Structure formats: C-alpha cells, structure tokens
Amino acid sequence: MKTGGQLIVDSLKANGVERLFCVPGESYLAVLDALVDSGVGVTVCRQEGGAAMMADAWGRLTGKPGICFVTRGPGATNAAAGLHIARQDSIPMILFIGQVQRDAREREAFQEVEYRRAFTEFAKWVGEIDDPARIPEFVNRAFSVALSGRPGPVVLSLPEDVLRESVAKPPVRILPNPVPANRPGRAEMADLAARISKAERPILILGGTRWTEAAVEQVQHFAERAQIPVGCSFRRQMLFDHLHPSYAGDVGIGINPALAHEITSSDLVMLVGGRFSEMPSSGYTLLDVPFPSQPLVHVHADSGELGRVYRPALAINADPASFAEALSELDIDVTPSRAGRVARLHQEYLSWSTPPETGPGDVHMGPIITWLRDNLPEDAILTNGAGNYATWVHRYIRFRKFATQAAPASGSMGYGVPAAVGAQQAFPDRLVVAFAGDGCFMMHGQEFATAIQHKLPIIVIVVNNSMYGTIRMHQERDYPGRVSATDLVNPDFAALARAYGGHGETVEKTEDFVPAFERARASGVAAIIEIKLDPEAITPTRTLTQIRGSGAKK
C-alpha cells in the first residue's frame, strides 16, 4: 500500500525530478513526509512567489519542468506571480497546491479556493486529483502538457485527505509520458530554402523556448553559411553568441534603430520559436498586425500561435530544436551582397552595445558593466527582474553561451534573486550573478536567506537609486516635476547581507566595484553588492533632468 503523498513523489521521480521548491504547509504534509527518504532535493523558500520564480528559472535554464509546492489559499495566490511569468514566457513548470479535504469542498472552508476557476488564465491546464489511485495519471499528464507545444505552467490541486489516503494496489512501476517532437515537413522546408535563396535582405529572429545547446549551434552555423543576420528576441539573448559575426542585436524595447530599420525593410523575416508579442515587437511596431508588410516565416511548436497575431507567408509548425536540425541540412544559394550587410549589422551591434564611460554622480555603470562583460566566465548565469537598471544588462552584456540568462520577458519585478537561487541549484558549479534595482530587490529579496540556508554563493548586485526608476522616468516625462509614489527609503543592503550571514559590500565610487566584486566572489557565501547610483542616471544615455525637460516641452 502507498499513500497519495508517496505516489506523488514516486511520480515525480519517474519523471526525472531532481529538486523541488516549496514553502511548507499543513495541507500537503503527506508529501513532505514522503520526500524525507526520496532522494529528491528540497529547497525551502521564504515566500511562495519566490518559490515559483525559482521553479521558473529551473525550467527556463534546463528545459525540464520546474516543480513548486505551496499550500492552499494565500500560499497559492502568492505563487501566482511566478505562475504568470511562466505562462507569458512559455516556461515548463508544475505548481502543486495543497487543497482542503474533499468533504469540506464548496463550503468556503479555511483558505479554500477553486483553482480550476481562479488559475485558468495563469496555466495551460488546472486539475484537481480526487482519487489517489489516479495520481500517476494526473502527474504524467501534467508533465506532458507543461512540455508539449508551447511550454507553460500546469497547476495540480491536491486535497489533503487524498494525500493521506492509501491505495491498496499501487502501480508496480510508473513510466513518464514521452513528449513528441514537432518536426517540420519537407515541403515547408523546401519552400523556406527557395525563399532564403531568393531574398536579398533576410533576417532571422530567435525567441521562445524548447531550444537546446545543439540547436543554437546549428543555427549559428547555418547563419554563417547563409550570410543571414540574427537577432534575439527580448530577454532571450542566450540563444546566440553575441560575438558571432552574424549577430545583429536584441529585438525588443529600446531596440537599436539600425536593427529596427533592417527588420521593417527586410524582404524575408524569419521568426523562430517566439510569439513576437508586445515587448519583443517594440509595441507591435516592427511587424504590422495582422498583415505584416514584410514576407514573414513563422516557426512555432504550437500551431495555435501560427496566425494568431500575424498572418505569415509561410507557417511551419515545429519546435526550435527540430527546426534547427532541418535548417542545418538546407542547400541554399547566397547572394554576394549578403556578406557585407551581415558584417555591417554586426559592427552596428558592437557599437550599440558599447556602454558610456561616464555619467552623473560618482558611480558610473558603464565601466562596471564593461568589466563584468570582460571578466565573467562565459558560462556565468545572469538573472534580473524588471526596472531601468536591467537596460545595462540587456543592452551591454554580450552573452556567449546557451543557458546563461534568466530574465522575465513578462517584465515582473522581484525575479532576479529567487531566479539566481534556482539557477545555482540547477548549476552548482557555475557563477550566478543577480541584478536588481532597490525596488526590485525588496519584492523578493528575502530569498537571499534561502541562498544562505542552502549554501549557494550567488552574487546579487543591487543598483540603488532610491526610487522606482522606470515609473519615475515615465512620470517625469508625462507629468514633469509632479513626483508621486515613486520615492523609496531603503535599508543598508550590505548590512542586510551580513545580517543574513552573507557577505556585503557598498560601492560609492566606480573604482570601488572591482575589488568589491572580487571580495564577494572570494567569500564563498551569498553576497550583496550595493551600488549607490545617482538618481539622475536614470538611463544609460539620458538623465532624469533631460527626460523631465522633454516632457515639459510636449
């Protein structure tokens, strides 16, 4: 006989789960008990939103569903922040929620929520298990749904009594469901080859998930052979080596105007893996909706995304890895003019991604980012949440390797620190550096305690300008001089790190950063480096005063 809790853990192990993230709750004590001797690693977190973000980072970097357990009611609703990120960013994740016992359902019992109604917009599938004998079936389906087509989060509700109840004849063994590949058809690939051979100004844009390291390499080789410039969708920069001669830059908000012009004037735009939603498309300005003026080839693993927003000239229903394999086998003709265009766009990218050396105040982010770019290992993992500070990472860091970036395309604040914890758990031998603004850090900064508890030597760089910088920027532009609800009073972040048992540094001059970072890394424990940035340094290229002035002239 086995309890429902034991069958949950058996099903997780059968599906290859090595670690899960949780905040404990009495609603799923039977699962916690089953985990004791299971061999599955358990990361206990400080808030359910942070736990879900850790699971998202695991799924984002490994391609395997991140697993998160939370308790009912407030625990589940706290986790919704991470669930929303996984949904919008197409990240495989499974959120298990302890639920009230079956005989109390529909009475608004203690912390009761009907998750099949509440979380429909946040997940690909929401299910509730009311029979412990069906647990392997439900869990296997959850993995299949999370990984297939367009990946995303799944929610499984677990009534407390189902987890305690025993199954007289449990399955002798539990086998995972295979996730089939979506392979492109020969006719579609032949059509694509003809279009590429004919085009004079083609461009390739990579995005989405279901990529592999091998697929990235195949696309890089193809781009070089076919002389096609390549851009990476917003916060998907790890999909192409930025120093590869075919790389043209990131495609999204704040795009290089030269790259934006190449996309809008292209005679063949190939979008692979991504949805090209609002942020990656620069507010739907790069392609007309629903009929792009450029011939569009859209490749996506979910047929429901093909034609959903943009009508493509050629739609290919394929996952990125399978498409990359087929792409590498194409025989195409290359027009002589392409080589010069590719070289020009790469040089434009190098210029665009060279940060300014100076700025307002005593700390200049440009030299700091340049040093990090030149000195971090190529396989270092960078995480961040949302805010103006993130521009320094996305525009100026030159990503070289696959699985080195975890950042929410959904624009969720608070993601950087918990994502760093999840990343370090997934890749314990790699350097993990989290970036956060002061407002961003304070949303899930308590997960720094999780890093300390689990002995994870993440380095957190807090860019502190004492305000919600992105909102202040928009506020000063649209309502110049009328500041409201954007000032912040913050703790001493370095002292906070030491209070948690970590290493803390404060940087008040540019030249202080390098020795501070080296001491943080040498400490061997989780560290916070607080950079005290002048509020005027609101963007890499414009000051707060300049933005306020531009708004006043409108």
What is 2-167's CATH number, 3.60.15.10, 3.40.50.2300, 3.30.160.60, 3.40.50.970? 3.40.50.970
Please state, for a pLDDT cut of 90, what percent of the chain lies above it.
Answer: 94
Say yes or no: do domains 186-352 and 365-552 share a fold.
yes
pLDDT at 477: 93
Split at pLDDT 50, 70, 90, the class of 532 is very high
In terms of DSSP bridges, do strands 2-3 and 166-167 run parallel, antiparallel, or are they unpaired? antiparallel
Segment 516-539 mean pLDDT: 97
pLDDT at 554: 40
CATH 3.40.50.1220 holds for 186-352: yes
The C-alpha angle 90, 94, 100, rounded to 5 degrees, equals 135
Q: Examine the pLDDT at 553 and tell me if it is beyond 50.
A: no
Q: Examine the pLDDT at 158 and tell me if it is beyond 80.
A: yes
Give the pLDDT confidence of 193-206 residue by residue, as tens digits. Answer: 999 999 999 999 99
pLDDT at 337: 84
CATH 3.40.50.970 holds for 365-552: yes
CA distance 229 to 237: 14
Give the pLDDT confidence of 29-70 residue by residue, as tens digits. Answer: 999 999 999 999 999 999 999 999 999 999 999 999 999 999
Give the pLDDT confidence of 350-374 residue by residue, as tens digits. Answer: 999 999 999 999 999 999 999 999 9
Give the pLDDT confidence of 383-434 residue by residue, as tens digits. Answer: 999 999 999 999 999 999 999 999 999 999 999 999 999 999 999 999 999 9
Segment 134-143 mean pLDDT: 97
Domain boundaries, the chain: 2-167, 186-352, 365-552
Q: Examine the pLDDT at 104 and tell me if it is beyond 80.
A: yes
pLDDT at 551: 61
pTM (global) more than 0.85? yes
Per-chain mean pLDDT for the chain: 96
Give the pLDDT confidence of 301-337 residue by residue, as tens digits. Answer: 999 999 999 999 999 999 999 999 999 999 998 888 8
Residue 260 neighbours by CB distance under 10 Å: 16
Burial of 546 by CB count in 10 Å (0-12 exposed, 13-18 middle, 19+ buried)? Answer: middle
Higher pLDDT: 167 or 173? It is 167
Split at pLDDT 50, 70, 90, the class of 137 is very high
Segment 252-276 mean pLDDT: 97
Q: What is the full DSSP assignment across 201-261?
A: SEEEEE-SS---HHHHHHHHHHHHHHT--EEEETT-GGGS-TTSTTEEEEESTT--HHHHH
pLDDT at 549: 81
3-class secondary structure per residue, 47-103: CHHHHHHHHHHHHHHHCCCEEEEECCCHHHHHHHHHHHHHHHHCCCEEEEEEECCHH
Segment 280-297 mean pLDDT: 97
Please state, for a pLDDT cut of 70, what percent of the chain lies above it.
Answer: 99
